[in-house]
Amino acid sequence: MLGFCCGSIWFCPVLLVLMLAVCGGNVVIQRDAQFDMTYYDTVTSDNQTIYSYNHTVSRNKTEGVRVSVELLSESAPSPVLFVVRQKQAVLSFQVPLILRGLYQRKYQYTQVGRTLCQPPTKALAETQFFYVDVSTLSSAGVHYQLRVSRVDSFTLQTDKKFSFNATPSQPQFFKYVFPDGVDTVIVKVNSQKNFPCSVMSIQDIQCPVYDLDNNVAFIGMYQTMTTTAAITVQRKDFPSNSFYVVVVVKTEDEACGGPLRFYPLLPDELLDAGNRSKTLDVIVSPAINSEVYVMGMLFCLGIFLSFYLLTFLVACVESKRMNRKREGLLNADASPAETASLLGKASVSPYEYGSFADNGSTLSSEAVTDSLASTDGNYGCMDRSLESVARSRQESLSSVEEDDYDTLVDIDSDKNIVRTKKFLCVSDLSRKDKRILSKKYQIYFWNIATIAVFYALPVIQLVITYQTVVNVTGNQDICYYNFLCAHPLGALSSFNNILSNLGYVLLGLLFLLIILQRDILHKRALERNDSTALECGIPKHFGLYYAMGTALMMEGLLSACYHVCPNYTNFQFDTSFMYMIAGLCMLKLYQKRHPDINASAYSAYACLAAVIFFSVLGVVFGKGNTVFWIVFSVIHILATMLLSTQLYYMGRWRLDSGILRRMLNVIYTDCIRQCSGPMYIDRMVLLVMGNIVNWSLAAYGLIKRPNDFASYLLAIAICNLLLYFAFYIIMKLRSGERIQCLALVCILFTAVVWGFALFFFFQGLSTWQKTPAESREHNRECILLSFFDDHDIWHFLSSIAMFGSFLVLLTMDDDLDTVQRDKIYVF
């Protein structure tokens, strides 16, 4: 019987007292104990001690009870086992307490403190007994110290801060009861020390409470923390209208980004954990109510719907202004013949006199006056007869394929002659059939629409799965929210970060409506053989504009999906269409004066797909990988050189086996035999500056190797776009062209909004480049309507800035609508 009992003691600690009482004649000592008294005693394998406590439990008041034990013997061959028997719960632990870390490292603690679980009682007041049993298998006496005390501040009060200490072997937990009228609270735990790493957990009122490093993740919601942790708790998730706030200090700091000190020399070697005490404070505050949710949603809708109203008002004002100008021309003192002549010249299409909604920026007053009142035909666009225009239009429409022009006998030499002239005009690069080109550029829209469908559906499915995993497991380290301003709604953990992306969708839709109206009016003008629409201004192709508007809407949708559960694995969702937008804007700038030789949709999207491919590789393999950065930098520089060659020679070069021979020939003739400058100086200046910027970015990446590769890649795209845009504006002004008032207002407004947007973007409320605990150090409170944080304001301002940037691209060349294309220079 003795052998059976002693062999079974480790398998059933709950029966320890009964077994010792009947095995081997062990002495059982039972004593009545008092709260807040320290007992020093010795235990051996021949005796065990039972301490009996009683206390009054009230239904309306919860009083915490804490058991603190310290082993006084320096070394004991066997641990001392403590079993606390309550009415509806049992707690057992051994001293020294062994906790495991990474790589099976073992840490022992001789001081242990545990708070007893307090099961609810139905009686108004009830006296309950609980017993602390102390036993060991050590034949030598083991000295210990025992103290049971009441926790006066066991129940947390709303908006009252409470400070406490915790260690890995002395965790703490407290109770919070929802007050009447409060359905959502936010629990914040703070510390002045980054380390040791700790965990905050929210658990339901039930026994046992999981309050050790090796089991705290078993139930409830939890976060690792260094200095800050915050969890929003809703009453609907806790039927008892109360919950436990559990704080555990981890045995190691690796989960919070701290270093691992060393590996164990022996497999079972016990390590000294050192001083891992941490002082923390906890405060529970009411979260926002439903009125704030409604106010936030109305504010978001109001801001962006106001742009629809503003667009409508500007359209009405522009339409009235154009009508007044035409009435003034009709009432002017002129002969009937002159009046008829002016009316004939003034009978241009609604495209020319369209409102802001159809033209983005209508003709300025000076341009209208010049085109209608001038009799010398300032640029010659209005002097051409409609008959000749109709004839040229008919000849243009006779072609059915874009490549028909290329089948002429002398087209090869003609291309080389035309495209290699020192001074090119838009008419030189807009010779292909307009109908075929329009269909070519419409492919941009249909391709991006197809890409959006195939890309968005699995993204939505994935983020729903992410959110489900977070809700089921309670692991809030999966998602990198700003937990101090994360307002849940339904199954979503941070509704405000999703709502703030609505601007991209609404403003993208508004831009599509503007483009649609301009497109319709332009087609009507072409059907009437309007001379201005046919022969003047920048050739109107709207396919890329449709693609840009669609990309802006998709950026809003995918950014919202990313913010359902932001982390490094799905950051690509937030950046993919940013690459698309940057690439499409550069293509649109180039297409304005190079419509015949702009890239096709297939090649453009293939290049953007390669960019996204490298973005994924960089996120997965780029962190600290020297080989990856070398390969990427080489590819970046080679791509820059190839693109520079393509732009400089207007596509009139070939990448084949004879490329090296031709390069050497150019170097010999232009640099050695005779020193001659570049033929296309303006183009050369742009490409030299572009190469300097890109080579510098490649060198920076190779030297610094930034962790956020996706943002680094986006910075490359934005820098190139800004460089090309600045070059375009400078060359436009240098060529004697002007920027109309509305376009200038859009430029200034957009620049200011971009400045404020970038300020909020760089606030950095979270970062998946660090551990979740370190990321929470950057969390901040809401700053707008108690609902939106800095990143939400970035969403607001950046969507407005992108919309303004699109309007700039749309309106910046409206001053050329009455200028013949052979008078518009290419740069």
For residues 198 and 248, the answer to whether their CB atoms sit within 8 Å is yes
- pLDDT of 335 reads 46
Whether residue 82 is predicted with pLDDT greater than 90 in this model: the reply is yes
- pLDDT of 421 reads 60
Asked whether residue 792 falls in the same domain as residue 773, the answer is yes
pLDDT band at 58 (very low <50, low <70, confident <90, very high): confident
Whether residue 525 is predicted with pLDDT greater than 60 in this model: the reply is yes
- Give the angle 719-792-498 at the CA atoms, nearest 5°: 105
| Mean pLDDT score of the chain | 81
C-alpha span between 198 and 189 (Å, rounded): 10
131, part of any domain: yes
Asked whether residue 550 falls in the same domain as residue 663, the answer is no
- pLDDT of 139 reads 85
Whether residue 26 is predicted with pLDDT greater than 80 in this model: the reply is no
- pLDDT of 544 reads 93
C-alpha span between 126 and 708 (Å, rounded): 59
60, part of any domain: yes
Sign of CA dihedral 368, 370, 376, 378: negative
**Strand-strand pairing, 27-32 and 47-58:** parallel
**Strand-strand pairing, 270-272 and 106-109:** parallel
479 closest CA partner among 573, 576, 577, 562 = 562
Asked whether residue 520 falls in the same domain as residue 636, the answer is no
Q: Which of 350-354, 594-598, 632-636, 750-754 has the lowest mean pLDDT?
A: 350-354
Neighbours of 203 (CB within 10 A): 22
User: What's the burial of 637, exposed, middle or buried (CB within 10 Å: 0-12/13-18/19+)?
Assistant: middle
**In the sheet where 106-109 sits, what is the strand order?**
97-100, 106-109, 270-272
Asked whether residue 678 falls in the same domain as residue 818, the answer is no
Structural tokens at position 478: 């999966």
Q: Which of 220-229, 235-244, 639-648 has the lowest mean pLDDT?
A: 639-648
Q: Choose one of 152, 174, 202: the last residue of a domain.
A: 152
C-alpha span between 535 and 542 (Å, rounded): 17
784, part of any domain: yes
Whether residue 642 is predicted with pLDDT greater than 90 in this model: the reply is no
**Strand-strand pairing, 162-166 and 80-85:** unpaired
587, part of any domain: yes
C-alpha span between 710 and 499 (Å, rounded): 24
C-alpha span between 764 and 783 (Å, rounded): 14
348, part of any domain: no
Own/partner long-range contacts of 756-759 (Cβ < 8 Å, ≥24 apart): 756/797, 757/794, 757/797, 757/798, 757/800, 757/801
Distance of CA 426 to the CA centre of its chain: 40
Whether residue 368 is predicted with pLDDT greater than 70 in this model: the reply is no
- pLDDT of 410 reads 45
Q: What is the CA radius of gyration of the chain?
A: 38
C-alpha span between 701 and 8 (Å, rounded): 63
- pLDDT of 654 reads 62
pLDDT band at 264 (very low <50, low <70, confident <90, very high): low
**What is 305-368 written as a DSSP string?**
HHHHHHHHHHHHHHHHHHHHHHHHHHTSS--HHHHHHHHHHH---HHHH--HHHHSS---HHHH
Q: Choose one of 121, 152, 183: the last residue of a domain.
A: 152
565 closest CA partner among 703, 446, 699, 470 = 470
- pLDDT of 644 reads 83
**What is 27-92 written as a DSSP string?**
EEEEEE--TTEEEEEEEBTTEEEEEEEEEEEESS---EEEEEEEE-SS--SSPEEEEEE-SS-EEE
For residues 818 and 371, the answer to whether their CB atoms sit within 8 Å is yes
Amino acid type, 538? I
Rounded to the nearest 10°, the torsion over CA 69, 70, 73, 75 is: 90
Model confidence pLDDT, tens digit, residues 724-751 = 898 889 888 888 888 888 899 999 999 9
- pLDDT of 186 reads 95
Asked whether residue 477 falls in the same domain as residue 539, the answer is yes
660, part of any domain: yes
Q: Where are the alpha helices (DSSP H) in 735-820?
A: 741-761, 772-775, 790-811
- pLDDT of 505 reads 96
Model confidence pLDDT, tens digit, residues 88-111 = 888 999 998 988 887 778 888 989
Model confidence pLDDT, tens digit, residues 173-202 = 999 999 988 999 999 999 998 889 999 999
C-alpha span between 438 and 433 (Å, rounded): 9
Instruction: Please give the average per-residue pLDDT across 144-154, as a whole number.
Output: 89
For residues 342 and 334, the answer to whether their CB atoms sit within 8 Å is yes
Distant-in-sequence, close-in-space partners of 1: CB < 8 Å, separation ≥ 6: 22, 23
**Helix, strand, or coil (residue 132):** strand
Asked whether residue 450 falls in the same domain as residue 497, the answer is yes
pLDDT band at 383 (very low <50, low <70, confident <90, very high): very low
C-alpha span between 570 and 559 (Å, rounded): 10
Instruction: Please give the average per-residue pLDDT across 406-420, as a whole number.
Output: 49
- pLDDT of 403 reads 46
Q: Which residue matches tokens 């035999």?
A: 673
63 closest CA partner among 130, 4, 9, 163 = 130
- pLDDT of 791 reads 94
Distant-in-sequence, close-in-space partners of 523: CB < 8 Å, separation ≥ 6: none
C-alpha span between 230 and 284 (Å, rounded): 10
Asked whether residue 46 falls in the same domain as residue 165, the answer is no
What pTM does this model have? Answer: 0.81
Compare 596 and 1 and report the one with higher pLDDT: 596
The listed range with the strongest mean pLDDT (66-70, 686-690, 823-827) is 66-70
**In the sheet where 37-43 sits, what is the strand order?**
37-43, 142-151, 64-71, 111-115
C-alpha span between 698 and 634 (Å, rounded): 8
Neighbours of 94 (CB within 10 A): 18
**Helix, strand, or coil (residue 259):** coil
Structural tokens at position 541: 């192709």
Asked whether residue 648 falls in the same domain as residue 774, the answer is no
803, part of any domain: yes
Structural tokens at position 92: 């057992």
791, part of any domain: yes
Structural domain tally of the chain? 4
**Helix, strand, or coil (residue 488):** coil
Asked whether residue 717 falls in the same domain as residue 587, the answer is yes
Convert 692-724 to b/e letters by CB count within 10 Å (16 or more is b).
Answer: ebbeebbeebeeebbbbbbebbbebbebbbebb
Compare 285 and 675 and report the one with higher pLDDT: 285
- pLDDT of 397 reads 38
36 closest CA partner among 193, 206, 117, 151 = 151
pLDDT band at 380 (very low <50, low <70, confident <90, very high): very low
Q: Which helix (H) or strand (E) holds 455?
A: helix 434-473
pLDDT band at 408 (very low <50, low <70, confident <90, very high): very low
Model confidence pLDDT, tens digit, residues 792-806 = 999 999 999 999 999
245 closest CA partner among 316, 157, 341, 368 = 157
**In the sheet where 80-85 sits, what is the strand order?**
27-32, 47-58, 125-136, 80-85, 90-95
Asked whether residue 674 falls in the same domain as residue 737, the answer is no
Three-class secondary structure assignment of 516-560:
HHHHHHHHHHHHCCCHHHHHECCCCCCHHHHHHHHHHHHHHHHHH
Whether residue 682 is predicted with pLDDT greater than 80 in this model: the reply is no
Asked whether residue 678 falls in the same domain as residue 722, the answer is no
The beta strands (E) that lie in 601-751 are given as: none
For residues 586 and 535, the answer to whether their CB atoms sit within 8 Å is no
Asked whether residue 222 falls in the same domain as residue 140, the answer is no
Structural domain boundaries enclosing 42: 26-152
Q: Choose one of 102, 124, 152: the last residue of a domain.
A: 152
Structural tokens at position 765: 């409320």
Compare 352 and 741 and report the one with higher pLDDT: 741
- pLDDT of 415 reads 56
What CATH code is carried by the domain that includes residue 223?
A: 2.60.120.380
C-alpha span between 293 and 498 (Å, rounded): 13
Structural tokens at position 693: 């910027």
